[in-house]
Amino acid sequence: MTVRVQEADFDPGAELESLAAGDKEIGAVVSFTGLVRGTGDVSTMTLEHYPGMTEKALEAIEAEAHERWPLQASLVIHRVGPLPAGARIVFVATASRHRRAAFEAAEFLMDFLKTRAPFWKKEVTADGTEEWVDARETDNAAAERWAR
């Protein structure tokens, strides 16, 4: 279980390789990469977070995924600071013996991350206009379907 909050970019291929390295029991690796969507004239997305709580919240979400599914390994990376359209912003990877646990846990991690981890996005357009992104009801609904 690993959580990283960082300004720097990351290499999804290298991350996946090291996630599965050294554990011959792993039969499935699933990953999700989120990119900054350049909708309309959005040129940059600035990510603010709550240092300290962010890491705790991500670690709690990851621990819950390991409770619910038999995972061999997992990784969550979230970038912060100003990110241009097209840049990688978030990465979730799960490894398990069989594919279903890895698929479901990856989706669970993203759904919970989007509704529970203290990050806030601000869109900046080419002419410098700034606007905070509103939370989406569809994200809450996506997280609620994991309720048990």
* Helix 99-116 with 137-144: angle, nearest 10 deg: 140
Q: Which of these segments, 18-26, 36-44, 53-61, 64-72, binds another protein (CB under 8 A)?
A: 53-61
Q: Provide, rounded to whole angstroms, the least separation between the CB of residue 134 and another protein.
A: 7
Residue 8 in contact with residue 79, Cβ under 8 Å? Answer: yes
Choose which of 49, 62, 74, 95 interacts with another protein (CB under 8 A).
49
Q: Report if residue 26 touches another protein, rule: CB under 8 A.
A: no
Q: CB atoms < 10 A from the CB of 124, how many?
A: 18
Q: Provide, rounded to whole angstroms, the least separation between the CB of residue 27 and another protein.
A: 27
Q: Which of these segments, 7-15, 20-28, 98-106, 120-128, binds another protein (CB under 8 A)?
A: 120-128
Residue 139 in contact with residue 114, Cβ under 8 Å? Answer: yes
Q: Report if residue 47 touches another protein, rule: CB under 8 A.
A: yes
Pinpoint the alpha helices (H) of the chain.
12-20, 53-68, 99-116, 137-144
Q: Find tokens 């040129």 and name the residue.
A: 43
Interface residues toward another protein, by CB under 8 A: 34, 47-50, 52-53, 56-57, 78, 89-90, 110, 113-122, 132-136, 139
